[in-house]
A and B are shown apart, each in its own frame.
Chain A
């Protein structure tokens, strides 16, 4: 079943076009890599799909509901409850411990404090950082922080996870460990993932690759709609 659709999405920054009519579908539980050279519109597309940015034209629908016309408050609520968002770095709240950071989306969604902490500890455990539960971000390495941020993005068991270069600030081994675990857990709970990356070896974790060039889906681009070898899933 299609979870997320973009239809002719256009977005500009002042006079500079970033997206010039992008159409794509993301199915339930599907992992889609969005790739392309710097400045091709990858991150802008992710922001439009996640309801962070509003397109200038075109439509974004989620489970049949057109969300690009929703108010900022409604889109924000959608992101808190149904979506997860993960960026390259700088996402944890500096004043909160790892466990408090991971519990935060659940608390905002109305989960009780004790239940939220239990879930947070479970998710920290899944990313191998349960022993850091009571440390603040400033007391952790970059890789540890990104594991916590990934746990926080998945703790609500979202329908869709939007990940923008999630391993871009990590060394190769740490990045692969975080990504392998992210993909494994997303598949287990059938969370769809929109993964923005410029690295072929990261895109290779996805079921399908969509290449953007100059704000458009590049139909001559490599890997367009190419399923994962072996027909996984």
Chain B
């Protein structure tokens, strides 16, 4: 074996690595391509400015949430090898707790809607994240000792239990006493006058999120609310005369989500590029080896699972808390499935890949079909779609495909899932490591190249072993 070819190979590989290391370039290129495709398609189908901005805001929103959640899942699966398919459970816990804490109280005997504790939204968000983390601990303590496939079954069962609880009549509504006293042995330890009158999970009807708009709350806290309104007024005078605020709100919220993704990325790449992340990777590869090298693997798995669960809770909060209401059907395992596909597209094990996977999934598979449907419906005057598959297919006999096309367009929300399923199967056949999954993202806080930069090839000459 010649050392020169060996060295050359290393050099070429190094160059490729460096190229790929231009993560920022790669991310910007992918995002740019997705946005460009949306804008061009919008122009081609004759979308107006408002429609364009709306679709961009929508796209950004989903890139943001899927990016975040794929990053969080990457900590579980990509780094630690923990097969969590109960993601949506943690998301639901996060947003339900936020709602409970921050919804304003309602008067007793009033509307059927349940109220909350009326605390500031920031408190609600923190509470949601903390409770999601606590549930992560609750699941992890017993379940982390299980084989991967058993952990999968346990986590998905957990997320379904969470959903049953949301729907349950038992937890629908509680009346909160006017004062809560804690008296031990005749001594009053504390007396608390809760603001809430009724609290609960709202049952099958879900919860109306009638707290202040999250964006407004954030901007007010930052004393940016007045300038923001000024900006909205400016846009109204110059660009969009008819009520531009919802459009701008959407765009700004999307941007904030992207900032959130950046923070997730920063945190998780720090976690990954550290001795802690190195142990996680070792656990993924072979837990017994990590244990034999003196690492208390249970502790590492627990920490990673709890952190990931907290981030999933946060992801759920950011996704749903800006919606007007939340209902239990939103928290079906479908969401978990979406996030898994996003991660597998990007490549488990790579943080950059996770975000890219989230963005590509959001742009092409999640929003893409719906966007196309909207575009086509805007561009062409289409009649009503047939009510069922039968009436859609029947005219095919007389060579009239229009009803079938209309039915297909109308069912695009479901067909998306068929496409996603097929894509997942295709990926597992052809590229299970995803776009960037096999890339080396070295788990270390420092550059591991030889200190002092001595030439590696001197020592290589002495090698007697052969390569496989």
Q: Do A and B bind each other?
A: no
| Chain A residues with a Cβ under 8 A of chain B | none
Interface residues of B (CB under 8 A from A): none
